[in-house]
Amino acid sequence: MKADPKLKPNSATRNSKADSKLRTLKVDYLARVEGEGGLYVKLKGSKVQDVKLKIFEPPRFFEAFLRGRMFGEAPDITARICGICPIAYQMSSVHAMEDALGVRVEGQLRALRRLIYCGEWIESHVLHVYMLHAPDFLGYQDAIQMAKDYPDLVRNGLTLKKTGNDIVNLIGGREIHPVNVRVGGFYRVPTKHELAPLAEKLERARDIALEMVRFAASLPMPDFEQDYEFVALRHPSEYPFNEGRLVSNKGLNIAVADYEENFVEEHVEHSNALHSVLKKRGAYFVGPLARFNLNYTKLSPIAQEAARSVGLKAPCRNPFQSIIVRSIETLYAVDEALRIIHEYEMPDQPAVAVQPKAGTGYGCTEAPRGILYHRYRLNADGLIQDAKIVPPTSQNQKTIERDLRHYVQQYLDLDEEKLTWQLEQAIRNYDPCISCATHFLKLNIERT
Amino acid sequence: MLVIGVGNEFRRDDGVGLVVARRIAQECPDVTVIEQSGEGAALMEAWQSDETVYLIDAVSSGAAPGTIHRFSAHEQEIPAQFFSYSTHAFSVAEAIEVARVLNHLPPRLVVYGVEGQDFGSGLGLSATVEQAAHRLTARILEEINSPNDRPPNHRS
């Protein structure tokens, strides 16, 4: 979060000379996002000439080195793509493999998969809201500075995050790069007794999550709305984690297997991450705001009530309000985790049997940042012949650039330092994960 | 007394904190030794009930490989670039600084950072860092056994 100190504040006076002045705003390395990227904005007078979200984290070639590996290795290999959302990679990969192999995982094993995903949403959302995004709204350089003025807030955030860690730790074997997920289920499932202490922590966490929603809703919100195409999973009876059809607010309604007929990845010169677009329609928006807008009625009563109590309604088109939505989803994840634990009965087997066979499988689950698509083609021995992975950040890149373009146009009178600050804040609305996207920040604003 | 080894043993020298912690566990069965990935919230919980905590991690500060850095958390800020493992996650340096602000530091927290040489994929330490691990293990054992004799902050 550093405006270029060499840049002079923009003159508030506009005349013909000022209108032809070239200005660039740039942030070489964006802080508080995962991975290496930057932002470049070029302005000529009152016109935005160029906006680039530059991603220079090197490509990581995961899809290539999955080829030739056994189907069962995919969850552990792909989990290494991201230290923040390994569960998402494990869940998308196991569901894609099970689709290829004709296996369904039901009952308590299915519920445990939702439970571990609740843990990851809590970990990821709480980290983003308290440590990465809230300092933007309150004018602090980082969470350490914010903690000096808001010690109880940060303390609560840490307690809440730890509760998410505890879920992932117990179900996944450890909190980072968990090792207990497999195609067909788990290597080991917890006893009812082992889950009991989690329930106690979650009861406390639910109170903190309610405070988190009120805190997020109290933050000063930039006035900024756009007409987005929101895309998320939709399930008939659940707020989506692992299953559902891909739907949008503009008529998309497809099975996961039809993803590649509707979405296409494009290479752009300034990014080592592919930009994903909807065919014939272009940019779209995935993540908490999309899920909330498309699945509001599937939230649990306490989460819906929390949204109502702070005046947040679907559809919400202000991306800055994603910090409120993340808080509501955190509350939902805590509440859903409690429901699952209360209804839990230990299954007889930790996994269903899986036999290799030739086929192609498709999986799409809701990572904290949005839909994560996996497709694998297997041979008769279960060896991966071909893999495709589309992470949420590469799907949001075009929308992030579009937001920045419109935001700059709306707030041209701000000086460089303030504008740069707010553009970084706008990027963090998407909680971008560059490491995932290159499987994907720096800011440059140039004015003429 | 608690010894925390931090790192990823599958990234060569990044595992030096784990190596040193395991050797201390072998030499001092009475000392509680734990291994951590470096995730901040988990670290803060781990050290909350011990009077004296040693934390060992690999660092990449530009110093010569094998250099041992020592920080006493109560006496100085921890340079964030020394212990960052991610621009996104809440890591060792941030955990210590947030804990300082929140008065959650243990009464004595000594942080050792070993300058790594090779953070590539694979098992095992580079020869230079292996030598540093050997020196650091001996040094921490000496500190543990003579807790009142606190060495000054310095590089070695």
Task: Give per-residue pLDDT as tens, A265-309.
Answer: 888 777 777 788 999 899 999 999 999 999 999 999 999 999 999
Note if the bond before A301 is cis, omega within 30 degrees. Answer: no
- Which chain A residues contact residue B86 at CB under 8 A? 34, 83-84
Nearest residue of chain A to residue B80 (CA atoms): A144
Residue A234 pairs in a beta bridge with A245
Q: What pLDDT does B8 receive?
A: 85
Please determine, for residue B155, whether its predicted confidence score (pLDDT) is greater than 50.
no
Cβ–Cβ gap B90/A34 under 8 Å: no
Lowest mean pLDDT among A5-9, A152-156, A318-322: A5-9
Q: What pLDDT does A75 receive?
A: 95
- Which chain A residues contact residue B85 at CB under 8 A? 83
Q: What pLDDT does A325 receive?
A: 98
**pLDDT tens-digit profile of B40-99?**
888 888 898 889 999 999 988 888 999 999 999 988 887 766 665 555 557 788 889 899
How confident is the prediction for chain A on average, in pLDDT? 88
pLDDT more than 70, % of chain A: 89
Lowest mean pLDDT among A42-46, A367-371, A422-426, B141-145: A42-46
Q: What distance in Å separates the CA atoms of residue A1 and residue A21, rounded to the nearest whole number?
A: 25
Nearest residue of chain A to residue B7 (CA atoms): A176
Q: What pLDDT does A442 receive?
A: 42
Please determine, for residue B120, whether its predicted confidence score (pLDDT) is greater than 50.
yes
- Residue B149 banded pLDDT, cuts 50, 70, 90: low
- Which chain B residues contact residue A158 at CB under 8 A? 40-41, 44, 98
Q: Is A303 on the interface with B (CB under 8 A)?
A: no
Hey, how many other C-beta atoms are within 10 angstroms of the C-beta on B150? 11
Task: Please name the helix (run of DSSP H) or strand (run of DSSP E) that holds residue A386, with its range, or none.
Answer: strand A384-390
Cβ–Cβ gap A83/B89 under 8 Å: yes
Q: What pLDDT does A329 receive?
A: 98
Q: What pLDDT does A434 receive?
A: 66
Task: List the domain range (segments joined by +) for residue B103.
Answer: 11-145
Q: What distance in Å separates the CA atoms of residue B43 and residue A126, rounded to the nearest whole number?
A: 16
Q: What pLDDT does A25 receive?
A: 73
Residue B35 lies in a domain: yes
Q: Closest Cα to residue A327, out of A87, A82, A84, A134?
A: A134
How far does the CA of residue B42 sit from the closest CA of chain A (Å)?
7
Cβ–Cβ gap A158/B98 under 8 Å: yes
| A226 token code pair | 């756009």
Q: What pLDDT does A358 receive?
A: 98
Q: What distance in Å separates the CA atoms of residue A196 and residue A411, rounded to the nearest whole number?
A: 51
How far does the CA of residue A237 sit from the closest CA of chain B (Å)?
33
Q: Which residue has the higher pLDDT, B69 or A27?
A: B69
Cβ–Cβ gap A174/B39 under 8 Å: no
How confident is the prediction for chain B on average, in pLDDT? 86
Dihedral, A239, A167, A142, A436 alpha carbons, nearest 10? -70
Q: Closest Cα to residue A284, out of A332, A227, A330?
A: A227
Residue B133 lies in a domain: yes
Cβ–Cβ gap B88/A148 under 8 Å: no
The CATH number given to whatever domain includes residue B66 is 3.40.50.1450
- Residue A444 banded pLDDT, cuts 50, 70, 90: low
Sheet-wide strand order for A359-367: A359-367, A370-378, A384-390
Residue B156 lies in a domain: no
Q: Which residue has the higher pLDDT, B73 or A379?
A: A379
Region A62-226+284-393: CATH code: 1.10.645.10
Q: What pLDDT does B21 receive?
A: 97
Q: Is B34 on the interface with A (CB under 8 A)?
A: no
Q: What pLDDT does A5 receive?
A: 30
| B154 token code pair | 């310095």
Q: Which residue has the higher pLDDT, A92 or A25?
A: A92
Number of domains in chain B: 1
Q: What distance in Å separates the CA atoms of residue A295 and residue A77, rounded to the nearest whole number?
A: 31
**pLDDT tens-digit profile of A154-194?**
999 999 999 999 999 999 998 777 899 999 999 999 999 99
Selecting from A32, A36, A147 the residue whose C-beta is nearest the C-beta of B98 gives: A147
Residue B3 lies in a domain: no
**pLDDT tens-digit profile of A100-128?**
999 999 999 999 999 999 999 999 999 99
Best A30, A131, A430 residue to mutate vs chain B (most B CBs within 10 Å): A131
Residue B2 lies in a domain: no
Q: Encode burial over A386-407: b for 16+ CB neighbours within 10 A, e otherwise.
A: ebbbbbbbbbbbbbbbbbbebb
CB-based contacts of A6, cutoff 8 Å, min separation 6: none
Long-range CB pairs of A174-178, under 8 A, 24+ apart, other chains included: A174/B37, A175/A123, A175/B37, A175/B39, A175/B42, A176/A83, A176/A86, A176/B37, A176/B39, A177/A79, A177/A80, A177/A83, A177/A86, A177/B37, A178/A79, A178/A86, A178/A87, A178/A90, A178/A116
Q: What pLDDT does B81 receive?
A: 65
Please determine, for residue A421, whether its predicted confidence score (pLDDT) is greater than 70.
yes
Best B84, B92, B101 residue to mutate vs chain A (most A CBs within 10 Å): B101
Lookup result for tokens 């014939």: A280
Strands B2-6 and B52-59: parallel
Nearest residue of chain A to residue B38 (CA atoms): A176
Residue A384 pairs in a beta bridge with A378
Q: Closest Cα to residue A256, out of A268, A271, A246?
A: A246
* A151-172 vs A107-126: helix crossing angle, rounded to 10: 150
**pLDDT tens-digit profile of A69-102?**
999 999 999 988 877 889 999 999 999 999 999 9
380-439 in chain A: CB under 8 A from chain B? 433, 435
Give the number of A-B residue pairs with CB atoms closer than 8 Å: 65
Helices (H), ranges, A45-138: 62-66, 74-79, 86-101, 107-126, 134-138
Please determine, for residue B151, whether its predicted confidence score (pLDDT) is greater than 60.
no
Strands (E), A110-190: 181-182, 185-186
**pLDDT tens-digit profile of A127-141?**
999 988 999 999 998
Q: What pLDDT does A36 receive?
A: 63
* Cβ–Cβ < 8 Å for A67, A386: yes
Please determine, for residue A387, whether its predicted confidence score (pLDDT) is greater than 80.
yes
Please determine, for residue A401, whether its predicted confidence score (pLDDT) is greater than 50.
yes
